[in-house]
Structure 1
């Protein structure tokens, strides 16, 4: 049996196991690692060692980043910082372009907060703005959802892009991944806004749609539940200071040494390492704790963050194990040469990620599994350079948003909270993610022509 056919069968196993039989992605990827190892004829004595080293290798660095980023996100969510972020964007942009404003709010909030949680938090704000500005709730819902989705799939420290970057050997280049991801995500979000504007005169047709008018009051009640909201500086600092430090650290490490090699370089090189930068962000987030017993509250937030991060860590580790098996089997050379002959280059990771995303629903699983799959092939398809790997992360991210439909939890969050029927949600939300994905991969392909 050819190497390519074995790989296709293993991918088919991942898709069927997660989508049809609802097997947890962690166990699915782990089983896929063993199946691939035996199918490719790896020495039986080395299989467990290869899988364990692949699992531990990716988590040895990326694991701490995922946990710290998740804890910061929980603190921002529970403290009302996400509401402050939204209010700040509204004050800056005004109410002239409601769908664009809503998208930008989602774009910012989803960097630290998972898109599902972000939508739930911001839903009443979205409906309040829709009612006050006399804009369709459907248009505002799609604008918010696509804004959230853009940074969720492209911008670290969101776990999916971080895991993909780790699988592709970009642990020390996260600043560049962030820089490129922010740009690509902005274009994807803009595409989502343009699609959302098609529905400015369309009202939701699902059950409970007539009750949406009440959510103006719901938003005021929501804000009141948080008590005194944090200031804009306190709300934005825990996420944007670490991102700035990571980017400055990457600049400091440029071969041309733009910041010299003295004390400034040493400080930025240290603080710019993602783990250290996110620790700084975590300390800044301490200002958002509200209870009298801040130590107890902080412990609770850490526990909540670990619970949220645990399945992501397991999936990421299993993806690393799968990648280690493929690397040990040297499948990258054979398939890479074949794919290189086809000349599809950067489009291949997009197609694989889109197939996995559409089949099993999870963007994070699509990012982790696809990055593990393509890592051994990068040299043979001309993407082994640092920028080639960064653009590969972006291409996988574009695929991981194509498309969100009924097997995706985010689809149901958007559908239920916006009171759209499933049919309407497919026309509005699912098609929006298709437009976003195709727009993003077109941009990434054009960037590859210029930068590679």
Structure 2
């Protein structure tokens, strides 16, 4: 490989890592600096570099920015309405006594599809504590199962912002990403439960005394925290949703109702993907987008199943079905504004990732790297997987890791001989590895669980590495069949 182009790539990635770890700047600025470093080292002119940055940024956000914003807003309403908590309790009842770890892992996986891991864990952790308090044991097992169940779908299933950004950068079909991500998550879930059950009892004595006291202390038979109480999901009088008017019936959150804003958009997106594939098959134009002219029914499905329309419908359902009629308009506006604020940085990072990928393409770094990798015996799908792994270990953020890996991989897909969907899943899976001190979610889980030092590493770093290892054979199979 041309040493100048290799140096451009390595210095560009190093710029992201160093800026995130060693400066007061964030990944958005880091990725933009990486664009400049890569472009100048590769020998591009300043004008060409700036053109590539603006083109890549605009193209990426044009396809995915709206979707990220809607997905985060949907998650916020599920959080404040008590729908996430209602789903958790439904899973616990469904799995039954003795299978609490499965219930917690499954709950985490479902709730974390639209809700950020950090806030979702804070909302759901009181349920894990409540179960452990009743059983007088097993809190570490339940807390780990809940947290890592969230990790799976947070990294693999849209509308979580990371996978959405990866899909946009790589041009992967969003419906297929949802389907494959769900399959990966279901297959990896037993690893979560087995590891949590294995390590949990070993670390139960390592729980910090103050956390142990909060978990196992005898409490009155009231609520355990979160947005709903233990009495079937009825909202407390002093609720963030507002005080019910006098004479209003007690509000209960049904699990089926709670799932509608999440399930309906996902189904519409998947139906669109399946319908388009069937329509192409009927026209014998599979894989040839230029020759494809959608039929009338396929065009309708494409509209209502587009991520923008589907998530708009989901958000409308969440606001008008999950929130009670007495919730004030200004409260809802405030929640949506909070969601927009939290989505802003993710959107900017995703756009900067697209800009970095465009710089790699325009400078010729991507084509040159593809030629080199094509001469190796390494399976192509492991290239984005390893890039995401290294970036995650270096700077801690799974979202930054998968978006950086997607940016590096985008110019290489043809040379690697893998589909955009397989490449996207490799970026997402690689970013799960060994969560430790430089990952904010590490601190959320271990602080709430009450683990410190080596116990925290054995518990949380260990379980995230276990699912990372488990994803490798799945990726090899996906690269062969997708």
Give the 3 Å change call, closer, same or farther, for CA 293–77 of structure 1 in structure 2.
Answer: closer
Give the 3 Å change call, closer, same or farther, for CA 216–290 of structure 1 in structure 2.
Answer: farther
**How many Å apart are 1:95 and its aligned residue?**
2.3
Give the 3 Å change call, closer, same or farther, for CA 221–46 of structure 1 in structure 2.
Answer: closer
**Match of residue 42, structure 1, among 41, 44, 48:** 44
**Match of residue 267, structure 1, among 293, 296, 300:** 300
**1:215 and 1:395 mapped to 2: Cα distance?**
46
**1:46 and 1:277 mapped to 2: Cα distance?**
37
Q: Which moved more, 1:41-50 or 1:281-290?
A: 41-50
Give the 3 Å change call, closer, same or farther, for CA 148–176 of structure 1 in structure 2.
Answer: same
* Cα-to-partner distance string for 1:128-165 (whole Å, 9 max, x where unaligned): 11222344211111111110000000001100001001
Counterpart of 1:406 in structure 2 is 437
Give the 3 Å change call, closer, same or farther, for CA 180–48 of structure 1 in structure 2.
Answer: same
**Match of residue 111, structure 1, among 110, 113, 122:** 113
Counterpart of 2:242 in structure 1 is none
**How many Å apart are 1:42 and its aligned residue?**
1.6
Counterpart of 1:283 in structure 2 is 316
Q: Which moved more, 1:81-90 or 1:8-17?
A: 8-17
Counterpart of 2:428 in structure 1 is 397
1:251 equivalent in alignment to 2:312: no
**1:155 and 1:19 mapped to 2: Cα distance?**
27
Q: Secondary structure at the match of 2:264?
A: helix
Counterpart of 1:328 in structure 2 is 362
Q: Which moved more, 1:335-344 or 1:132-141?
A: 132-141
**Match of residue 448, structure 2, among 406, 414, 417:** 417
Counterpart of 1:292 in structure 2 is 326
Give the 3 Å change call, closer, same or farther, for CA 262–379 of structure 1 in structure 2.
Answer: closer
Q: Secondary structure at the match of 1:230?
A: coil
Counterpart of 1:352 in structure 2 is 387
TM-score normalised over the length of structure 1: 0.94
Q: Is the contact between residue 124 and residue 216 of structure 1 (CA under 8 Å) also seen in structure 2?
A: no
Counterpart of 1:310 in structure 2 is 344
Q: Is the contact between residue 234 and residue 285 of structure 1 (CA under 8 Å) also seen in structure 2?
A: no
1:220 equivalent in alignment to 2:254: no
**How many Å apart are 1:257 and its aligned residue?**
4.7
Counterpart of 2:239 in structure 1 is none
Give the 3 Å change call, closer, same or farther, for CA 447–49 of structure 1 in structure 2.
Answer: closer
**How many Å apart are 1:221 and its aligned residue?**
4.6
**How many Å apart are 1:296 and its aligned residue?**
2.2
**1:207 and 1:24 mapped to 2: Cα distance?**
36
Larger radius of gyration: 2
**2:282 and 2:98 mapped to 1: Cα distance?**
42
**How many Å apart are 1:206 and its aligned residue?**
2.5
**2:440 and 2:252 mapped to 1: Cα distance?**
29
For residues 52-451 of structure 1, what are the structure 2 equivalents within 5 Å? 52-170=54-172, 173-202=173-202, 203=204, 204-211=206-213, 212-214=215-217, 219-222=223-226, 223-224=228-229, 226-227=235-236, 228-254=251-277, 256-257=279-280, 264-286=297-319, 287-290=321-324, 292-344=326-378, 345-383=380-418, 388-449=419-480, 451=481
Q: Which moved more, 1:369-378 or 1:209-218?
A: 209-218
Give the 3 Å change call, closer, same or farther, for CA 381–402 of structure 1 in structure 2.
Answer: same
* Cα-to-partner distance string for 1:319-364 (whole Å, 9 max, x where unaligned): 1111111111121221111111112211111111011111111111
**How many Å apart are 1:434 and its aligned residue?**
0.5
Q: Is the contact between residue 91 and residue 107 of structure 2 (CA under 8 Å) also seen in structure 1?
A: yes
Q: Is the contact between residue 70 and residue 306 of structure 1 (CA under 8 Å) also seen in structure 2?
A: yes
Q: Is the contact between residue 131 and residue 216 of structure 1 (CA under 8 Å) also seen in structure 2?
A: no
Q: Is the contact between residue 361 and residue 367 of structure 2 (CA under 8 Å) also seen in structure 1?
A: no
**How many Å apart are 1:229 and its aligned residue?**
4.2
**How many Å apart are 1:262 and its aligned residue?**
5.9
Q: Is the contact between residue 79 and residue 229 of structure 1 (CA under 8 Å) also seen in structure 2?
A: no
Aligned residues: 445
**2:75 and 2:63 mapped to 1: Cα distance?**
19
**How many Å apart are 1:422 and its aligned residue?**
2.6
**How many Å apart are 1:92 and its aligned residue?**
1.7
**Where do 5+ consecutive residues of structure 1 fail to align?**
none
**1:221 and 1:416 mapped to 2: Cα distance?**
17
Counterpart of 2:241 in structure 1 is none
**How many Å apart are 1:6 and its aligned residue?**
2.2
Q: Is the contact between residue 446 and residue 452 of structure 2 (CA under 8 Å) also seen in structure 1?
A: yes
Please give the root-mean-square deviation of Cα atoms over the aligned residues, in Å: 1.9
**How many Å apart are 1:66 and its aligned residue?**
0.2
* Cα-to-partner distance string for 1:398-450 (whole Å, 9 max, x where unaligned): 1111121010010000011111113211001101101110101221113323x
